[in-house]
């Protein structure tokens, strides 16, 4: 490559398709029963990220 050449770099994605990396970044998934009360309890306990 010559020093006067133009280079374009395109970066796509957010890393979430790489499950191990996503888990390291966000932790384990929050398990919620199919019940609004359970969702509200878990969110109040700090489960919402």
pLDDT tens digits for 5-19? 988 877 777 666 787
Q: Hey, how many other C-beta atoms are within 10 angstroms of the C-beta on 42?
A: 15
CA–CA separation, 23 and 29 (whole Å)? 8
Place of tokens 């398709």: 17
Q: Is the pTM of this model over 0.95?
A: no
Range of the domain at 34: 1-49
Burial class of 49 by CB neighbour count within 10 A (0 to 12, 13 to 18, 19+): exposed
For the chain, the domain total comes to: 1
pLDDT tens digits for 22-44? 788 877 788 889 999 998 998 89
**pLDDT tier for residue 4 given thresholds of 50, 70 and 90:** very high
pLDDT score at 37: 93
30 HSE (CA, 13 A, CB side): 15
């Amino acid at each position: 490559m010559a020093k006067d050449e133009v280079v374009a770099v395109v970066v796509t994605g957010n890393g979430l398709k790489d499950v191990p990396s996503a888990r390291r970044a966000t932790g384990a998934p929050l398990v919620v029963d199919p019940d609004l009360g359970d969702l509200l309890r878990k969110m109040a306990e700090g489960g919402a990220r």
